[in-house]
Amino acid sequence: MRFADSPTVSVTIDIAASPEQVWAVCTDLTRFGEWSPENRGGRWLNGATGPSVGAQFEGIQEHAARGRWETVSCVTVFDAPRCFEWRLGEVDHPGAVWSFNLAASEEGTTLTETVRMGPGPSGITDVIAAFPDKEERIIQRRVSEYEVGMTAVTLGIKAAVEANR
């Protein structure tokens, strides 16, 4: 797989709580650092105090191979309690598109976290530019890292929500 293919990763989990209860946790970006191996949390920018379409936030990331860095994202979908989507970098040409999708289920809520890389530049495009002959290995490694991180985040959301029922 290549970056131009817009690699996509999704992780789905069932949570024994209502969509509204799950929504309150998965839209609180300040908590992501509690569960993610890479994200260290974030803060709202430009006077925003929470998520809404057009709201921007800074995310703090850390990776053993890259160190620590900040990203700026913009909320592009905020459909409570169904979909929370944000785009990294430029809204019209994002480095990645992330989302949480929630659906009511017999158990409570099915939560799916998804990321689609590209089409715009991001940290991964810098690595690919430095090692173009290794692009497929770079993408596969990043996809694997996303799966691990997203699994940790969704399990963390599940534990947090179910503990407070």
Give residues with Cβ within 8 angstroms of 133, minimum separation 6: none
Is pLDDT at 147 greater than 90 in this prediction? Answer: yes
pLDDT of 33-77, one tens digit each? 899 999 998 999 999 999 999 999 999 999 988 889 999 999 999
Beta-bridge partner residues of 100: 84, 113
Is pLDDT at 164 greater than 90 in this prediction? Answer: no
pLDDT of residue 155: 97
pLDDT of residue 102: 98
DSSP assigned state of 66: T
Cα atoms in the Cβ-side hemisphere of radius 13 Å centred on 12: 7
What are the strands, taking DSSP E only, across the chain? Answer: 8-15, 39-44, 56-63, 67-79, 83-90, 93-104, 109-117
Token couple for 154: 């969704």
pLDDT of 18-36, one tens digit each? 999 999 999 998 888 899 9
Q: What is the pTM of this model?
A: 0.95
Domains detected in the chain: 3-163 (3.30.530.20)
